[in-house]
Structure 1
Amino acid sequence: MSEFDRVDVTAEAAALLRQLTAQHGPLMFHQSGGCCDGSAPMCYPVGMFLTGPGDVLLGALDVGLHDAVPVYMSESQFEYWKYTHLTIDVVDGRGSGFSVEAPTGRRFLTRSRMLDQAELEHFSLA
Structure 2
Amino acid sequence: MATILIVDDSRTSRKVLKNLLEADGHAVVAEAVDGEDGVEKYMQLKPDIVTMDITMPVLDGIAALKRIIEFNAAAKVVMVTAAGQKSKMVDAIKYGATEFLAKPFEPEQITDIIRRVLEK
TM-score, normalised to structure 1, is 0.23
The structure that has the greater radius of gyration is: 1
Q: Which has the higher contact order (CA 8 A, sep 6+)?
A: 1
Which TM-score applies when normalising by structure 2?
A: 0.24
